Chains A and B, each alone.
Chain A
């Protein structure tokens, strides 16, 4: 069976949500928690080692779609031309077994009530039939996404099938290839501890000292981690509110 899939270049993604919005308006999805395409942002490390992590994901149309096997109503099927994993809404009764099975949080519901039917990324199958690539891929300002036959994507971009804190690819064999975010390189000498010492002190005003900016250097470099809200990747949010929390930008 042919298998098409996505290439996601995390090193280019700026978390602008262009793909999310292009997708939603193309498929006429209303504002709210149904996000076929999602952009997660979380941060790790304290000054000076802070890193911002950004991850755009859609349904990976897995070669081993365990959501399909989990569905007691046979509402999910694997389409044969592109290998897209699709849902037959008429058969879905909203029991969310697929959601429990999918390690990526791809199945979407319009709220937390159990009567909501599942919907998810359909690989823009309407567009594929017209010879057009998925709308997310063509909307990315950073040109971070590509779409094509999975084996060709692997040939071109390598075989990295998961990033960082994502689940192991062996579970579902996702039709996706990644490039991880770029490594930082030092260009000029810069001493973070010295920076903090300088940052702490204010210039005196007319000879009179002004209060320090903060108390101890160690408070900045060793602050408790849980003060920062989004400090890890949470692909499967426990409810709609949590999903919005993990997938909204702060810019």
Chain B
């Protein structure tokens, strides 16, 4: 038996903070036997903060301790649902039955390539679709399409479309680039803030810092006397552990509260006039002021007006507004969930406008105006070669892909106008292309996160609709590592190797909340069966389609040399990082030390914690809008002639990635409109409970649903329900309940708790779609209840909807 050896590697479970957490893995015979948390700082110390200076905390010289997901990721590699050979659907079986036969890679590639060529010839270049896929750079299927000259992609990014759109509209900076400017580091909060107010933010669940690091920093701030307020419809774990005070708010109404806070600032003359004069465009600011004071519509957006909508009492709003303006700086944070509702773009914009009125853009200790994830401009992935010549249209919004397929028939039959269709599916391409859109082949799970997605439970369209759309396809291909709900609807499945344990990579954390670092994944675990690297799979597919594989991936030489080619690429990625730092005269570890676990702590190499926008705000460098300032009012949206143009572009000719051709009722400035399928929607007559689908603590979308170390071991997938709503329906804790609306039905036991306010239920996002013959989803994925909202502009009601609940009287399912 081989001796046990150890190596450092970082977690890539796609929870939002990729590669932030670090393990010391113990390996024997090519298998991970157990892991220890990071010990590269402060080894063998439990209460780390007791041995750290303030500077250590600010420079994040702290361990990157993982959460449970990472701690047993190594157990997940050998899961029973892992796909380890190329598979084809057994002839005669139905899609969804899940009956597959092993085939060779050669047969798999030949079949896929023939089908793709046939569709291109027979149905044209716009017959091959990637239902939901967005990467800003040229990788995966998108790159094949560019080089091959056919294919359709989608647009939209479920995490924060509304915020990205508003970032672009308010500042003239596209969302991805904007991420470089935002503030949001826990270190800045700890170092500089005087009071902390969090809307819909529970960092004890994940996605902010390694493991629950952001929560730890908030706790340290509180222990040092900082007061913390959490505003959330649920009494979250954060509300218990981190907050001094919890204030419940009706979900989907946060903007009303922001507007009323702005009202108080105007009325009591507490707004930062100097900041507004210098950095906010004047005309739009006046329009907004008039709206808030009710000068045009005779409705003052006062705390008394807002309390009836959001249920936060007027005096509370008033006091909070005064505090935020006087206790400078106050760390205000409006988390993604708040804007992941219909009309969430206005919520995001309203918050950013409030932050501008307070002069908090770019101010240390003040929190981000529009929270994405700060990421310093140090690219760890580099080009695979020049992009191909074919412009791949992003036709529909990914969240509506099934509707884009299903409603097309109605357009062809003349039952639905082209204009209405385009509005409904979030069309973003040249309208003339609609005539040529003819979806016949669906390519699933494309891209650089091979285990990252399961469309049926991750995107908006209800799984029931998505299954209908998949059944209309002539051919469906999945590239995946797990037999997910979606993979079972494929004709061919290509097995991809694990991204974290089985592949070498230089990885940079997506620094939602700071703690940014660059780590190495050493890929020391041998992939099972015939699972292959995702890039290799695309290289071979490209080759079969007649593309020179070196045009697809410039490092490729031969199959026999694959490992060496890939290592050369990974080394060049690190070389690129080294050069970035060299330009700034900063020394980083040489490659040989880096791969032994000597990582780059990006926070440590900077003079001060990330605060963002300081370039624009401190050096008077203008924003990239027409006025050069922050625009509360968008002249582009105000101009009706722009509507319906296909791709919209900004002043510098860059596409507004998150703006569909027709933006519906999106207002040029943040005004309050009731949430579609929110608590004040007329359909409460039929479906009186608002469903929230927050991100879970122990899963990433679908990922880990089938992990026996997590579900029903340390957590239960349950429906949160208040005692009064349970009592009315004769439900007690742990009773199985049926949750339903027009989109679908799910069954799961209830968690009856006073931690959720009346009129609301919560069911954690993702999971698995497990329908019985009548269509009841016994996996109880909230996605089954979502979808079908065509009224909202860029943010459909994708995380919320209205439902009814009753005690379930049926059998096991």
Contacts and interface: CB of A to CB of B under 8 A. Distances in A.
A25 B73 CA distance: 11
A203 B72 CA distance: 47
Interface in B679-695: 679-682, 684-685, 688
Interface stretch (B211-219, B278-286, B558-566): B211-219
A116 interface: no
A17 B715 contact: yes
Contact of A195 (B36, B243, B311, B720): B311
B752 A229 contact: yes
A209 B182 CA distance: 42
Interface string B475-489: 000000000000000
Contacts of B205: 251
B71 A139 contact: yes
Interface in B67-87: 67-68, 71-72, 74-75
Interface stretch (A39-47, A58-66, A85-93, A169-177): A39-47
A147 B45 CA distance: 9
Nearest to B319: A188
Given A184-B244, A250-B718, A25 B44 contact: no
A184 B68 contact: no
Interface stretch (A26-34, A68-76, A95-103, A106-114): A26-34
B29 interface: no
A142 B220 CA distance: 9
Interface stretch (B161-169, B638-646, B755-763): B755-763
B712 A205 contact: no
Contact of B212 (A14, A131, A189, A205): A14
A7 B212 CA distance: 20
Interface in B577-622: none
Contact of B734 (A24, A51, A229, A247): A229
B361 to A, nearest CB: 24
Interface stretch (B94-102, B245-253, B382-390, B544-552): B245-253
A230 B734 CA distance: 10
Interface in A1-34: 7, 9, 11-18, 20-22, 24-26, 28, 31-32
Interface stretch (B333-341, B431-439, B451-459, B721-729): B721-729
A34 to B, nearest CB: 11
A189 B698 contact: no
Given A16-B697, A146-B46, A251 B753 contact: no
Contact of A229 (B241, B681, B685, B732): B732
A133 B210 CA distance: 21
B408 interface: no
Contacts, number: 264
Residue among A18, A31, A143 facing the most chain B CB atoms (10 A cut-off): A143
Interface in A191-208: 191, 194-195, 198-199, 201-203, 205-206, 208
A181 to B, nearest CB: 8
Nearest to A46: B754
A185 to B, nearest CB: 4
Contact of A199 (B65, B71, B727, B759): B759
B235 interface: yes
Nearest to A183: B244
Contact of B244 (A14, A47, A185, A226): A185
Contacts of B244: 184-187
Contacts of A239: none
Given A143-B216, A198-B308, A251-B764, A228 B716 contact: no
A198 B312 CA distance: 8
Interface in B723-743: 723-728, 732-734
A15 B219 CA distance: 14
A154 interface: no
B377 interface: no
Given A50-B754, A138-B39, A249 B697 contact: yes
Given A189-B316, A203-B674, A16 B68 contact: yes
B5 to A, nearest CB: 16
B28 interface: no
Contacts of A248: 712-716
Interface in B692-722: 696-698, 708-710, 712-716, 718, 720, 722
Nearest to B52: A143
A219 B682 CA distance: 24
A228 B752 contact: yes
B696 A251 contact: yes
A119 B213 CA distance: 32
A16 B680 CA distance: 34
A28 B734 CA distance: 31
A133 B241 CA distance: 26
A195 B65 contact: no
B15 to A, nearest CB: 13
B216 A142 contact: yes
A9 B216 CA distance: 12
B240 interface: yes
A20 B714 CA distance: 8
Given A188-B245, A249-B698, A220 B758 contact: yes
Nearest to A41: B237
A13 B47 CA distance: 12
A211 interface: yes
Contacts of B35: 25
Nearest to B244: A185
Interface in A206-232: 206, 208, 210-211, 213-215, 219-220, 223-224, 226-230
B204 interface: yes
Contacts of B320: 188
Nearest to B210: A141
A132 interface: yes
A244 interface: yes
B679 to A, nearest CB: 6
B216 A219 contact: no
Contacts of B685: 210-211
Contacts of A143: 46-49, 216
Contacts of A229: 732-734, 751-752
B318 to A, nearest CB: 9
A51 B246 CA distance: 11
A250 B216 contact: no
Contacts of B697: 16, 249, 251
B715 A251 contact: yes
Contacts of B210: 141
A118 interface: no
A189 B216 contact: no
Contact of B195 (A21, A187, A202): A187
A50 B235 contact: yes
B309 interface: yes
A187 B715 contact: no
A52 interface: yes
A214 B238 CA distance: 26
Nearest to A213: B759
A15 B238 CA distance: 11
A230 B257 CA distance: 34
Given A147-B46, A228-B733, A16 B67 contact: yes
Nearest to B237: A14
A228 B245 contact: no
A146 B45 CA distance: 8
Contacts of A201: 308
Sort A-B residue pairs by CB-CB distance and give the 3 closest, nearest first.
A229-B733, A223-B723, A213-B759
Interface of A: 7, 9, 11-18, 20-22, 24-26, 28, 31-32, 39, 43, 45-47, 50-52, 54, 131-133, 135, 137-147, 181-182, 184-191, 194-195, 198-199, 201-203, 205-206, 208, 210-211, 213-215, 219-220, 223-224, 226-230, 244-245, 247-251
17 contacts: A12-B219, A13-B241, A16-B68, A51-B240, A133-B44, A143-B47, A187-B195, A195-B313, A198-B311, A205-B682, A206-B682, A210-B685, A227-B752, A228-B753, A229-B734, A229-B751, A244-B712
Given A229-B732, A244-B713, 9 more contacts: A14-B212, A18-B212, A47-B757, A138-B45, A202-B684, A203-B308, A226-B732, A227-B726, A227-B727
